[in-house]
Each structure stands twice: as structure tokens, then as C-alpha cells.
């Protein structure tokens, strides 16, 4: 995986307000540091940058960044399975599987608890793909 920002993601950042773009840039850096072997894919209409281990499919996504008007969601497709890695209850949401952490400032993704959730989600996704 290269360090270059995907062009489609750059377009999403340029369309966002400066505060949200700054949060998203830092979040991307932190996720890349935590999961350097993941590929990046962009869904422009969803304003989503996905970190995946099976490019071209949703089943390989470990985490994603979704731009909102005032914050960035760090998405975990199977966040309910990460409860053991979330003793402080950072994960929110009411879906059957998905959870997210709302990032409101550029330093939020640097929180060690957030980084642990990212690593745990990536390890879980790698294991699932290895098991077929």
C-alpha cells in the first residue's frame, strides 16, 4: 500500500469543510499506521474510505472513514464483535452488527483505545478471510 492519498478520497476531502477534512486526514494516517497491509478503496457517493483485505468486495473491509458535516465516523462493520476491546464504550450505534466511533477533532483517532479497536477489527477480518 502506498502512502499516496487516493484521488477520489482527495476529492471527498476537498468537498468537506476544513475541520472535517483535517480530522479525516489524521484518521487516515492513524489507520494506515495501525494497519499498513490494508488496501484503500473509496466510495465517493457514501463519502467512505474503506480499509480492506479483499479489494473489490465489502467482505474484506476492516474499518472505514465516513465524512459527515461536523465529524468523521470511524466505522466498524462488525463492531458488536469488538466489545472485549472496548471497555470504555467508545463504540456507538444500534445496528445488528455495525458500530462506529465519532471523531470530532484531529487528535481523536490517536487515542490508544481507538487504535486498539482498529487493530482488533483488522485482526478479526484477516482471520475471517484466512478461514474462508
pLDDT tens sequence across 48-82:
999 999 988 888 899 999 999 999 999 999 999 99
Q: Which residues of the chain have pLDDT under 70?
A: 1-2
Q: E strands, 4-71, where?
A: 39-43, 48-52, 61-67
Phi and psi at residue 16, in whole multiples of 5°?
Answer: -85, 165
Which pLDDT does position 126 carry in this prediction? 93
Dihedral in degrees, nearest 10, Cα atoms 56, 62, 65, 68: 100
Alpha carbons 70 and 25: distance in angstroms, whole number = 14
Which pLDDT does position 88 carry in this prediction? 96
Alpha carbons 31 and 74: distance in angstroms, whole number = 10
Which pLDDT does position 4 carry in this prediction? 85
Whether the model clears a pTM of 0.85, i.e. scores above it, the answer is yes
Query: Is the torsion defined by CA of 86, 88, 93, 95 positive or negative?
Result: positive
Which pLDDT does position 59 carry in this prediction? 84
> Could you give the domains of the chain?
7-131 (3.90.1150.200)
Which pLDDT does position 102 carry in this prediction? 98
Which pLDDT does position 2 carry in this prediction? 57
DSSP state of 44: T
**Residues 56, 88: contact at Cβ < 8 Å?**
no
Amino acid at each position: 500500500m502506498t502512502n499516496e492519498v487516493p484521488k477520489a478520497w482527495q476529492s471527498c476531502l476537498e468537498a468537506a469543510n476544513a475541520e472535517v477534512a483535517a480530522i479525516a486526514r489524521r484518521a487516515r494516517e492513524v489507520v494506515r499506521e495501525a494497519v499498513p497491509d490494508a488496501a484503500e478503496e473509496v466510495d465517493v457517493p457514501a463519502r467512505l474510505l474503506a480499509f480492506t483485505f479483499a479489494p473489490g468486495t465489502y467482505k474484506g473491509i476492516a474499518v472505514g472513514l465516513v465524512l459527515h458535516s461536523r465529524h468523521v465516523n470511524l466505522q466498524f462493520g462488525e463492531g458488536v464483535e469488538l466489545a472485549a476491546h472496548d471497555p470504555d464504550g467508545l463504540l456507538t450505534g444500534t445496528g445488528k452488527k455495525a458500530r462506529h466511533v465519532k471523531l470530532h477533532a484531529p487528535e481523536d483517532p490517536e487515542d490508544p483505545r481507538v487504535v486498539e479497536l482498529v487493530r482488533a477489527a483488522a485482526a478479526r477480518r484477516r482471520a475471517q478471510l484466512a478461514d474462508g
